[in-house]
Amino acid sequence: MRLFWPVMAASLALGACGGARNEGVPTLPVGGFQARGEDPRWSLGVGPSEIVYIDETNRVQVSQRHGGRAVPREGRLATPRIVVETVARPCTLPSGPTYAQTVQVIVDGLAFRGCGGELSTDLLNGSSWTVLSVNGRSTTAGTFTARFEAGRLALQLGCYQATAPFTNAGEILTVGAVSRLADPCPENDFGSDAERALSGPLAMERIGSDQLILRNPSGSIALLRSGR
Q: What is the pLDDT of residue 170?
A: 66
Under 8 Å between Cβ of 52 and 208: no
Q: What is the pLDDT of residue 2?
A: 40
Q: What is the pLDDT of residue 184?
A: 85
Domain ranges of the chain: 14-119, 122-227
Q: What is the pLDDT of residue 11?
A: 37
Mean pLDDT by 10 residues, the chain (228 residues): 38 41 56 88 91 90 90 93 91 78 95 86 76 91 88 93 87 90 85 92 79 91 85
Q: What is the pLDDT of residue 4?
A: 37
- CATH class in words for 122-227: mainly beta
